[in-house]
Amino acid sequence: MTRFAFDIHATDGKARTGTIRMMRGDIRTPAFMPVGTAATVKAMKMEDVRASGADIILGNTYHLMLRPGAERVARLGGLHKFGGWDRPILTDSGGYQVMSLSDLRKITEEGVTFASHLDGSRHLLSPERSMEIQRLLGSDIVMCFDECPRADQPRDVIAKSMEMSMRWAKRSRDAFDAGGEHAERSALFGIQQGALDEGLRKASADALIDVGFDGYAIGGLAVGEGQEAMFATLDFAPQQLPADRPRYLMGVGKPDDLVGAVERGVDMFDCVLPTRSGRNGQAFTWHGPLNMRNARHAEDTGPLDERCPCPTCTKHTRAYLHHLHKSGEMLGAMLLTEHNLWFYQQLMAGMRAAISEGHFAAFTTDFRRDYFAR
Ligand SMILES: [Zn+2]
């Protein structure tokens, strides 16, 4: 059995398509990972997540360590058994959410002490504890523990933070490697930092390559800098990372973000957008996003998206979806989430096919023409 391998089948410009092979299954790239924050992809049964085309889902260390607790998940047989998903799971390190969600943070070289946003209880997250939690969960792709500073801070603040994250990456590597049987069947990804600065991004990439990882994430983007600044950074950041390893852009994004990032050499993504938007009445379609609460859908007997083969689009009208969302019916959230996840997976499948066939530029042109048509 292969612990971890990445085969690139075709490239077109900077875009690549391939397969990550792991013990729990293959991951087709470019890949979109639905977010399963609390051992559930909200409003979706796991078999329906798989039916949408997902090869891998993401779990959140921060949420799971606080509730139900990593040790409890381990006693219950691990995250796969607990949540009913037998394919690969990537877990984040908790670093990003401890900064964005918790109270009373104190960051030192050792790690981050913080108060839970649920009950105020005190916790420490360090590279070693983050690796232990991800091991207890039974994660397939483990992420290094890092600090994600706000991108609008002075360069020396960003530099110091990045340098500490690189020391934490080495500690994460050592703690992961000491994980025994779990280390023999799972993978560890490093995370590049350095905000929007090319020199800091290069120094971060070199430090990570020096340690050596199965894959490399681009962290510290999609934190409010805007698409133009993100793309400007992606014009150089992916190429600073090894060409023969998967590149994962964390927390991205909108459909047009995904297309622009794949164009720049990114292979993996995760984002709450399709699921969160589905609960809020926003649908993603090939003709751009739609707000299903809008009165113009009230007597529209057409499907959400004529090109979409998902269960929602084949069975239900826009008028019905509008009614469900206006009425606050939970089925509305379920049906739109399912459609949005199918849409994201069809977008990834379309990009994979276009890269394979060598006409990715035409695909991106057609996509933007239709998506921004209105
Ligand atoms: Zn659909």
Give residue-wise pLDDT tens across range 155-196: 999 999 999 999 999 999 999 999 999 999 999 999 999 999
Taking the alpha carbons at both ends of the chain, their separation in whole angstroms is 49
Which CA distances in Å does 137 have to 37, 46, 100? 13, 17, 22
Give residue-wise pLDDT tens across range 49-73: 999 999 999 999 999 999 999 999 9
Contact 347, 339 (CB under 8 A): no
Decide if 270 is catalytic.
yes
Give pLDDT, residue 149: 85
List 12, 55, 92, 305, catalytic entry: 92
Å from CA of 213 to ligand 1 middle: 37
What span, in angstroms and rounded, lies between the C-alpha atoms of 170 and 267? Answer: 24
Decide if 140 is catalytic.
no
What span, in angstroms and rounded, lies between the C-alpha atoms of 322 and 296? Answer: 9
Which CA distances in Å does 211 have to 94, 144, 296? 21, 12, 56
Side chain identity at residue 169, one-letter code: A
Residue 129's φ and ψ, nearest 5 degrees, are -70, -35
Q: What is the mean pLDDT of each run of 10 residues along the chain (374 residues)?
A: 96 98 98 97 98 98 96 98 98 91 87 92 95 98 93 93 98 98 98 97 98 98 95 98 98 98 98 98 98 98 98 98 98 98 98 98 98 88
**340: Cβ–Cβ under 8 A, 6 or more apart, which residues?**
273, 274, 275, 277, 278, 283, 284
| Cis amide bond preceding 255, omega within 30 | no
- pTM beyond 0.95: the answer is yes
Length of the chain: 374
Å from CA of 44 to ligand 1 middle: 14
Å from CA of 227 to ligand 1 middle: 26
In this structure, what is the dihedral angle of CA atoms 118, 281, 330, 85, given to the nearest 10 degrees? -70
Å from CA of 274 to ligand 1 middle: 12
List 12, 146, 214, 270, catalytic entry: 270
Å from CA of 287 to ligand 1 middle: 12
